[in-house]
Amino acid sequence: MSEQKVLFDVQHLQTYFPILGGVVRKTVGYVHAVEDVSFQIREKETFSLVGESGCGKSTTGRTILRLIEPTKGKIIFDGQDLCQLDKESMRKMRRNMQLVFQDPYSSLNPRMTVRKLLEEPLDTHFKLTPAEKEEQIKWITEAVGINPEHLERYPHQFSGGQRQRISIARALITKPKFVVADEPVSALDVSIQAQILNLLMDLQKNMELSYLFISHDLNVVRHISNRVGVMYLGRIVEMGNTEDVYQNPMHPYTQALLSAIPKRDPLEEKKRIRLEGDVPSPANPPKGCAFHDRCVHCMGICSEQVPEARELEPGHFVACHLFDK
Amino acid sequence: MDHLLEIRNLSIDLPRGKKLPPIKLVEGIDLDINKKQNFGVVGESGCGKSITCNAIMGLLSYPLKVGKGSSIRFQNSNGKEQEIVGMAPQELCKIRGNEISMIFQEPMTALDPMYTIEQQINEALSFHTNLTKAEMHDASLEMLKKVKIPRAEEILRDYPHHLSGGMLQRVMIAIALINNPRLLIADEPTTALDVTIQAQILDLMNELRESYDTSVIMITHDLGVIAETCEHVAVFYAGQVVEEASVVDIFHHTAHPYTEGLLRSVTSLGNAKKELYTIKGMVPSAGNFSTGCRFADRCDRCMDKCKTECPPLVEIETGHKCRCWLHIDGAVEEA
Amino acid sequence: MRRFGQTIKDLWRDPMARVCIVGIFLIILTAVLAPVIAPYQPDHMIAAPKSAPAKDYLFGTDNYGRDVFSRVIYGARVSLWVGLIAVGIGAGAGYVVGMIAGYFEGWTDTVIMRIMDILFAFPSILLAILISTVLGRGLGATMVAIGIVNIPVFARTVRASVIAAKGLEYVKNAQSVGVKTVYVLIRHISPNVIAPFTVQSTLALSGAILTEAAMSFLGLGIQPPDPSWGSMLSEARAFMEQAPWMVIFPTIFIVITILLFNVLGDSLRDVLDPKLKL
């Protein structure tokens, strides 16, 4: 796996949102949505960002597509720094990278038929003859499992799962190399969730896609990803191969997070690490390690210094002072 | 009556004018809830689990109506049986919040942004007790401490938007339990919360159960939540109960193919990158239910009989009911 | 209602609202003290017709040589009175009707809203004329007539907000706690109605002032030579080019009054929303 070429290289990404206040709407502070995030995504791999709401995982996903401008940091896609690109080259670049949204109800324009929805990205990025377009549409509908007879229907005539298939088709019709899937199954029922996850995995295999998969559902993440990064308050606190992280979590937050997954069997005995309190506000993050005020292992240094990520096992990074030498 | 709540033949109608018969959103629901029982109701969206519970509260929103021949009988704290279907609104108000209370899914929207936490707790108290203002304050304070809210005195003066989702859900629980109800209906109480907060709330609910004599109906789509909190479970599918059993039987002696499918699509999760088990097709929408078994066209083990005749809910073992021809003697041979 | 004093205090803290309260107070004061403030009687001819504004008659004179300034001040009495009472009747009745229709839905709603639709279907002037022919001429009848005309608009606005508010989870929560219907309506649903309601009220206020003008033009409202802002406007229409001041000054007063009520309504809505409190 590790021999695969690096497709996305994100270095020290930082995204702040200004907080406007007062009568003249001047900036009174910043929401530190993404504080300092570095990761790589290799070809044909699924990298997941997992974390609780407000940890910055969605913002990260949108920033690396430059849908949100980063405050600092480098985003290197296929050897090119995306932040250096002007508007037009970025627009052209977009067909290589697509986004699948969480909510299949609001992310499709209700006034467009499925055919129009699918034609739109083609018209934006390519100049195709009607026959070529038809061919592309035929190919994608087959790939994602939309009945071609339903092409003239409107989004509201479909169920949630079908609509998510349409959004996926719309994202993949330009044949991108890379897809950000932002909570693509969170709004769906369990039995439909499984269908969409299988579809995403099939498409990955057939189209040689790389995914950045963003989710708060730890079971789903475990299932779909090769590598995973656990985010807390704008930073990746632990990152590694999925099974390494799930079976041997080292960061106290990861340990607590994994122990909070509800048990799957009423007879299972489960020890839970209790986390007190709530996630602090990203507008006013604590000094030092972001997790220190909820951590059971908190030491003096934790409230003063931000821990560096260290490679404790091959490919398994942890940012925690417990592992300082 | 041995049970706290007895639901018999409950149906909920969506009227379609005078000419068309109403659409039955749920049909033929029979449920018994015992005292001090934790009863789980699990199903996917649109299966009718939430409106069934709204019917128990007499809170069906217009134009939904409880169908003819339905009965919901509730034993109140004086040991008197009451029929909730068709009860006068004034009577319902006496039961709601006092004998039966409810926790909602979205703590962020379930509290009125216009009023402080204290005012909202007082509201629950003022309609069911004759406490003075000072007594209400003390009771609220004590209740907030029971649900483990730090800085309770300060929080009482806060407005809902000052608090996080987890805190608000604790406040909701406090409001629901303050009159010591006999039945608590929790409608997806942790769905909107993060995993670690969900764990806190589930732990809290499990602890509170020890100190209150309250029965809980836990409505959820998450089998994990069921495994954590419930003793007895009813599985809803397309407006019917398809299986009902103790939680261990549901997980370990699963009878209905739908329940099995649900469990398998969840438990196969995590087996890194293998194909997930899926139930084919999608949930039928109300009004398009087949006359046979409603799960027939998605079922792997569908027989001819399943397509034409709806199976009854029968007890296949003591305390284990299932609505499937596979478990009805003679039906398989016949086919 | 609860926290009434607090609301007023909060309102006073908002500088815009303070300006509006003072402004509205001044206009009301002007109307009440009209005989003291106005330099002339409103129906006395004091100079040549259509004289341009000058030191002795600040706003000029009208086509009969009457002082426009004095007439504007006297006119405030009628216009404010008509505006407030008519809107009061329309808003009050519309509020109650809309609440009932929205909350209970079903046949109650159908019956109420069909009646409202019938009222709505008439052109408002025509309906007002119809009502005042029943009630008789004069200011009182005019006010009631304009009020009734306004009911359907308010009822619709309120009903729509009530139906939207009923879907809110906290309203359901309040019901589940055992709060009685009347209290649910007052405590939890009303605040959601206030925003569209205040906006509608300020709009209706200007509408009422103008409707009164149209009615007096038709000989149903206030009778000449008594002035109202609306009747002054409709009289002035013919002399727009020769004596623009006849149009300009009443218009300025109407605009200022409506603006004051409008901004006050805005601030009131903000004050009632605790999310905007720091």
**Domains observed in chain C:** 4-276 (1.10.3720.10)
The structure tokens 């697509």 sit at A98
Q: Cβ contacts (< 8 Å) between B45 and chain A: which residues?
A: 189
B168-208, pLDDT tens digit by residue? 999 999 999 999 999 999 999 998 888 888 999 999 998 88
The pLDDT assigned to B184 comes to: 95
Give B247→chain A minimum CA distance, Å: 7
Summarize the confidence of residues C262-273 as an average pLDDT: 78
- The answer to whether residues B227 and B165 touch, using CB atoms and an 8 Å cutoff, is no
Domain ranges of chain A: 1-44+51-84+216-262+272-325
Q: Cβ contacts (< 8 Å) between B182 and chain C: which residues?
A: none
Whether B127 and C272 lie within 8 Å, measured CB to CB: no
Say if residue B220's pLDDT is above 90: yes
| Mean pLDDT lowest among A235-244, B222-231, C184-193 | C184-193
Of the partner residues B90, B124, B161, the one whose CB lies closest to the CB of residue C177: B124
The pLDDT assigned to C36 comes to: 87
Of the partner residues C166, C171, C178, the one whose CB lies closest to the CB of residue B97: C178
Whether C173 and B102 lie within 8 Å, measured CB to CB: yes
User: Which of left, alpha, beta for B28 (phi over 0: left; psi -120 to 50: alpha)?
Assistant: left
Give C187→chain B minimum CA distance, Å: 9
As a whole-number percent, the residues of chain B with pLDDT over 70 amount to 96
Residue B63's closest chain C neighbor by CA?
Answer: C106
Residue of B93, B162, B217 to mutate for C, most C C-beta atoms under 10 A = B93
Whether B194 and A216 lie within 8 Å, measured CB to CB: yes
Say if residue C53's pLDDT is above 60: yes
Chains that touch A (3 or more CB pairs under 8 A): B
B95-125, pLDDT tens digit by residue? 999 999 999 988 888 999 888 999 999 999 9
**Per-residue burial over A62-73, b = 16 or more CB atoms within 10 Å of its CB, e = otherwise:** bbbbbebebbeb
> Which residues of chain A are at the B interface, by a Cβ-Cβ cutoff of 8 Å?
52-53, 159, 161-162, 189-195, 197-198, 201, 216, 218-220, 222-224, 226, 242-243, 246, 256-257, 259-268, 272, 274-275, 278-279
C55-109, pLDDT tens digit by residue? 878 888 888 888 888 888 888 888 888 888 999 999 999 999 999 999 888 888 9
3-state secondary structure (DSSP) of residue C109: helix
Say if residue A41's pLDDT is above 90: yes
Q: Is the peptide bond before C225 cis (omega within 30 degrees of 0)?
A: yes
Q: Cβ contacts (< 8 Å) between A265 and chain B: which residues?
A: 227, 251-252
The mean of the pLDDT values for chain A is 89
Whether B276 and A278 lie within 8 Å, measured CB to CB: no
Q: Is B253 on the interface with A (CB under 8 A)?
A: no
Of the partner residues B224, B248, B261, the one whose CB lies closest to the CB of residue A264: B224
Say if residue A3's pLDDT is above 90: no
- The answer to whether residues A283 and A233 touch, using CB atoms and an 8 Å cutoff, is no
Whether A223 and B271 lie within 8 Å, measured CB to CB: yes
Say if residue C277's pLDDT is above 70: no
Give B223→chain A minimum CA distance, Å: 7
Say if residue A284's pLDDT is above 90: no
The pLDDT assigned to C244 comes to: 87
Q: State how beta strands A316-319 and A309-313 pair.
A: antiparallel
Summarize the confidence of residues B234-243 as an average pLDDT: 94
Closest CA to A206 of A152, A140, A291, A279: A140
Of the partner residues A243, A260, A267, the one whose CB lies closest to the CB of residue B198: A260
Say if residue B13's pLDDT is above 80: yes
Q: Is C33 exposed, middle or buried (0-12, 13-18, 19+ CB in 10 A)?
A: exposed
Residue of A55, A190, A224, A270 to mutate for B, most B C-beta atoms under 10 A = A190
Say if residue C210's pLDDT is above 50: yes
Give A130→chain B minimum CA distance, Å: 32
Q: Which domains does chain B have, with CATH numbers?
A: 5-230 (3.40.50.300), 254-334 (no CATH)
The pLDDT assigned to B312 comes to: 93
Give B87→chain C minimum CA distance, Å: 14
Q: What residues form DSSP beta bridges with B13?
A: B24, B65
From CA A121, how far away is CA A95, in angstroms rounded? 8
Q: Is B106 on the interface with C (CB under 8 A)?
A: yes
Say if residue C15's pLDDT is above 50: yes
Of the partner residues B61, B63, B128, the one whose CB lies closest to the CB of residue C178: B128
The pLDDT assigned to C66 comes to: 87
Tokens found for residue B96? 């709601």
The mean of the pLDDT values for chain C is 84
Of the partner residues B227, B277, B278, the one whose CB lies closest to the CB of residue A263: B227
Cβ of B263: how many Cβ atoms within 10 Å? Answer: 20
Q: Cβ contacts (< 8 Å) between B223 and chain A: which residues?
A: 190, 264
C100-136, pLDDT tens digit by residue? 999 888 888 999 999 999 988 888 788 888 888 888 7
Whether B227 and A190 lie within 8 Å, measured CB to CB: no
Whether C177 and B97 lie within 8 Å, measured CB to CB: yes
Whether B225 and A262 lie within 8 Å, measured CB to CB: yes
Q: Cβ contacts (< 8 Å) between C106 and chain B: which residues?
A: 62-63
B262-320, pLDDT tens digit by residue? 998 887 666 666 788 888 888 888 888 888 999 998 998 999 889 999 999 999 999 99
The pLDDT assigned to C1 comes to: 44
From CA A58, how far away is CA A80, in angstroms rounded? 22
The structure tokens 């409709």 sit at C234
Tell me the DSSP string of C43-61: T-B-SSTTPPP-SSSTT-B
The pLDDT assigned to C159 comes to: 94
The pLDDT assigned to A205 comes to: 92
Residue of C10, C173, C182, C186 to mutate for B, most B C-beta atoms under 10 A = C173
A10-29, pLDDT tens digit by residue? 999 999 998 876 656 678 88
Q: Cβ contacts (< 8 Å) between C171 and chain B: which residues?
A: 112
Tokens found for residue C177? 């706690």
The pLDDT assigned to C156 comes to: 93
Interface of B with A in 291-310 (CB under 8 A): none
Size of interface B-C (CB pairs under 8 A): 85
Say if residue C278's pLDDT is above 50: no
Summarize the confidence of residues A294-320 as an average pLDDT: 91
Residue of B202, B230, B276, B294 to mutate for A, most A C-beta atoms under 10 A = B276
Q: Is B205 on the interface with A (CB under 8 A)?
A: no
Q: Which among A210-214, B146-150, C261-265 has the top mean pLDDT?
A: A210-214
Q: Is B197 on the interface with A (CB under 8 A)?
A: yes
Q: State how beta strands B100-103 and A72-77 pair.
A: unpaired
From CA C100, how far away is CA C115, in angstroms rounded? 14
Q: Is C107 on the interface with B (CB under 8 A)?
A: no
Summarize the confidence of residues C166-185 as an average pLDDT: 88
Inter-CA distances, A176 with A169, A171, C58, Å: 11, 8, 75
CATH number of A1-44+51-84+216-262+272-325: 3.40.50.300
* ipTM of the shown complex: 0.84
Inter-CA distances, C23 with B265, C29, C85, C176, Å: 68, 10, 19, 45
The model's confidence at residue B335, banded by pLDDT at 50, 70 and 90, is low
Residue B163's closest chain C neighbor by CA?
Answer: C275
User: Which of left, alpha, beta for C222 (phi over 0: left; psi -120 to 50: alpha)?
Assistant: beta
Q: Is B96 on the interface with C (CB under 8 A)?
A: yes
Q: Is B48 on the interface with A (CB under 8 A)?
A: no
Q: Cβ contacts (< 8 Å) between B128 and chain C: which residues?
A: 178
